[in-house]
Structure formats: structure tokens, C-alpha cells
Structure 1
Amino acid sequence: MNKYQQKRGVEFTPELVLFAGTVWCSSYYQCDLLIDNIHYTSVTQFVMSEQARLFGDQPRREELLSASYDPAPHRAFDHKAPKTGKRRVNNFSQEEWDKHKERLMWRGTYEKFHQNPPLKARILQTGCRTIVEATEDPVWGIGISLGHPDAGNVKKWRAENVMGRLLGRVRDLVR
């Protein structure tokens, strides 16, 4: 096991805001969202229910929508599914999902900070720093865990930091 995987939280440097775990900037963070007259308890719940809708899996969507925050509805989704092949949404197509995932994450994340003034204040406190999801996630994160010596070195990142860049765009929009 990687000794850096267990570290969670938010760390500020002069140039970066690094985060991991279910902290306020995470899509897993519990907060109330109302999108298209549907109540969600996290951005992840919104994104995963939209994934089920996109692929026509209404039973899975209903399961996700009825999930309580304990500690997050994402427990109903196997986030390691791309590696294990145990995707919980029927008729899933990675190629099709890749066309929609960032747009859906953008919408949920924007609504999270737009609808929740305390969270808006927190993201604005990041100033002009680059926001970084310091996780080993190969898409949303940087491919390196929070606490790893290379997490603060942009040149050593192994992934795209899509979530961090998305959070930066949301921050700029809610200013």
C-alpha cells in the first residue's frame, strides 16, 4: 500500500491548493444541491445519477437518487470500475461517457458553489492559486497522493488534474 494514500484534507502553498478526501472542494463533499428540481446530497450523486440516466439504467438511477449520505452516495458506485470491469451502470460505454463526464461534473460543481454561499466563500479564499486534486486518480486527479513529496511539483504530476482545473474555472465564474 502506498503510504501517501491515507492522507486527506486541504493544504495551501503560495501557488497551490492541494486536496484529497471528502473535503469541501471534493465532488464527494456533502451539500444540498437542487438541479432540475431534483435534490442531491453531493456532486458525485448528481454525476452518477446522470450517468445512469444517460445509459438508460432507470433502476440504477433510482437507487442512486434514493441513496442517503452515509457518508456519501458514491459508495453505491464502484469508482475503481474502469480497472475492475465491475461497472454498476448497465449498458455503460466508456467512449460515450468520456463525451459527457466533464460537462456533468462542471454543472454539478458550479451548482454546488453557486447554491451554497459558505462553499462559495471557501473557494474564493483560494485566491489565484491552482487547485489540485492530489489523488492517484488518472483523470480527475494528478496521479499522486496528497502528502507525497512530488504532489506540489507540477512537472512530476502523472495525470491531468481535470477536477482541479474545473474548480478553478468555477471559482472564476462565481467571483
Structure 2
Amino acid sequence: MNFYEIPCDEIGYFREEYDFLSNFYPTKVLFDGIIYYNSEAAYQAQKCLQQTDKEQFALLSADEAKRLGKKVEMRPDWDDVKFKIMKRVVYEKFTQNPTLAQDLLDTGDRILKEGNYWKDLYWGVDLKTGEGENNLGKILMSLRDYIRQNGISDVSSCYHSLSGPFDGIWISDQDITLSGCECIVNATNEVLFGSGGIDGAIYRAAGQELREECATLGGCRVGEAKLTKGYRLKAKYIIHTVGPRYPSENCRENLAKCYAASLDLARKYDIHSIAFPSISTGKFSYPKKEASEIAVKSVHTWITENDDYDIKVVFSCVDPKLYELLYTRLCCL
């Protein structure tokens, strides 16, 4: 597909390092008394008038929410109110999540355009022609100005749960970049360069110094782990590990190695609390159910074999379906 040439002073595609600008980005949003797990779900839910109908969107992924939004009985005034609702949803997303608010500020004065190839010319622009009203981009730029003038809240407004321990393992639905653990684990790629997803979020939150240190490490092989400072994060350290792509040779064994290698490194550096994401279940496409089983088994095995070492392990997972899978496995320990 041939895209229009995006000027250097524009961010014209809400993917990769700018995926946090998209409504599909996974983050909790409290909106009119309901916690959603992405702003797309919060927006689509407002097509319904009844609170009980809105609640069916609460645990949906962005894709699921968008599909359901096409099927529900739409409120009669939707075309009149959808802009105001989107503006409120986007406001809540960024003001409730300080890390995302800082990411938005870090876009500087660049023009934000939601380039898309599905011809949504109301919220964005056509990537082939550059034509469109770009209302989502305008909302984001207006919000950026507002945050610049009024500052960032230092506390997330959404309630976060922490369950455990399950034989020394906990589970949380908090954004891993906000973890209070001494160390967080970054599921990254072989060149240790964050782009989108959790990887990109960690690099953005930690700052440019993290990229500079990673550039000195000579990359990282699948199933191995390397340690850096945490820089602007609450966590003192970051352990970077490269999960396997799915499908690939020995992917099950390599995924288990990621958890073991990270914990070995934590012990080596006398780290006593560590937060893991669900490794390889994003861009690397590892099936969530199998990945959850491997994650819990690998961590539990390591803790059992290292029972002379005191460490708190937290699975940090915003995705509600991954959370449920991990929680179910932990309950079986």
C-alpha cells in the first residue's frame, strides 16, 4: 500500500512507538462508574443508554468492543453526542494515567493525525491521500495543551487489584511501568530497542538514558536476559528478556528460559521483588493460554528450586483475559 508522505513535524500513524495515542492501547479507564480496559471499549459502550448494557463492554478488548458497538441498539442522538463523548473518554484515559499523560506531552508540538487505511475520515485521515477531518488528532492536541497548562496528576485514578500470594507469586492488573517492585521485566526484541506495546511503554517511561544504555549491551538472544538501570521508572532496575516468536523451534522451552533467566539475574543482583509482563503474547503472537501455563509453571519451579532466596514475584497484566488465565493457573498451585 502506498501511503502519503508524512511530514517530519507530524505523527501520522498511531502504531509502534506512538501506539499509546490509539484508543486500542490497553490501559484502564474509569468512565461513569465503570472500569474499562481500553478507551475504545469506554467509547463504544456509550452508544448504549442503559448502564447494564454499557457494562457488557467492561472486560472486552478494543477489537471486541468495536465489533459489539456495531451490533448494539444505538442511542438516537449518537451522531450529535459522539464528539463530546470521545473528548471525555480521551481526557479520562490520559488524566487517569500519568505515564500516558507524560508520553502525550513528549510529542511536543508535532501535529497528531490518526492515519488509517479503513477510510475513517471523521476521526482520522486516509493514509493513502492524507484527507480527513482528523477529529481524534484534534482532541489529542487540545488535551496536550490542557495538560501542558495544568500539569499531570501524580496518582492514577483507577483502582488496581493485587491478589496473592500464591506460593510466593502475586498478580496485579496495574500498568507495569507504575510497579513499585524493585525491578520490572521488559519483554523486548533482540536489538533491545523498544517500539510498541509494553516494550515501547517501558522505554518511554524510563527515558532516553535507557536507550543509550541498551545500545551498549550488544543485543540479547532469545531466552536470555540482561539488566539495566530503571532511570525515570519507580523500579530501580529493568531486566530485558527476549521471548520466542510463535510458532518457532523450541518456543515452549525458550519461553520458560525467559522467566528462569530473569529470576537468575534478579538473584545475582540481590533483587527481592520483580514484576513480569506476559512474555511473547503481544507482537510475538504466543497463544495466551499456553503462555500463561508456561509462565506460572516456570516461575513456581524457580521459586521452589531457590527456596533459600526471598523474592516477591508479581505478574503485572492489564489485559483482563490474560489476567484471568494467569489467576486461574495460580489458583491451581
TM-score (normalizing by structure 1): 0.70
Aligned match of 1:61 = 54
Aligned: 1:138 with 2:121: yes
Q: Classify 1:4/1:60 alpha carbon distance in 2 versus 1 (closer, same or farther; 3 Å).
A: farther
Equivalence map 1:27-66=2 (5 Å): 27-53=23-49, 56=50, 60-65=53-58
For structure 1, the 5+ residue unaligned runs are 6-11, 82-86, 149-155
- Tell me the residue number matched to 1:118: 99
The letter of the residue matching 1:38 is I
Equivalent residue for 1:170?
A: 143
Higher strand fraction (1 or 2): 2
Structure showing greater radius of gyration is 2
Q: CA deviation at 1:91?
A: 4.6
Q: 1:117 to 1:76 in 2, by over 3 A?
A: closer
1:90 alignment partner in structure 2: 73
Identity %: 27
Q: In the alignment, what sits opposite 1:84?
A: none
Which of 16, 40, 63 is the matching residue for 2:10? 16
- Supply the RMSD in Å over aligned alpha carbons: 2.5
**Counterparts of 1:39 and 1:97, CA distance in 2:** 22
What's the TM-score, normalizing by structure 2? 0.39
| Residues 39 and 93, structure 2, Cα contact 8 Å, conserved in 1 | yes
Of 105, 109, 112, the match for 2:86 = 105
Query: Partners of 1:38 and 1:120 in 2: how far apart?
Result: 21
Shift of 1:143: 1.8
Which residue type is aligned with residue 31 of structure 2?
I
CA distance in 1, matches of 2:31, 2:73: 23
- Asked whether the 8 Å contact 1:140–1:162 carries over to 2, the reply is yes
**Residues in 2 aligned to 1:76 and 1:37: alpha-carbon distance in whole angstroms:** 18
SS of corresponding position for 2:120 = coil
Unaligned runs of 5+ in 2: 149-333
Cα 1:101–1:21 change in 2 (3 A) is farther
Cα distance in 2, alignment partners of residues 37 and 4 from structure 1: 43
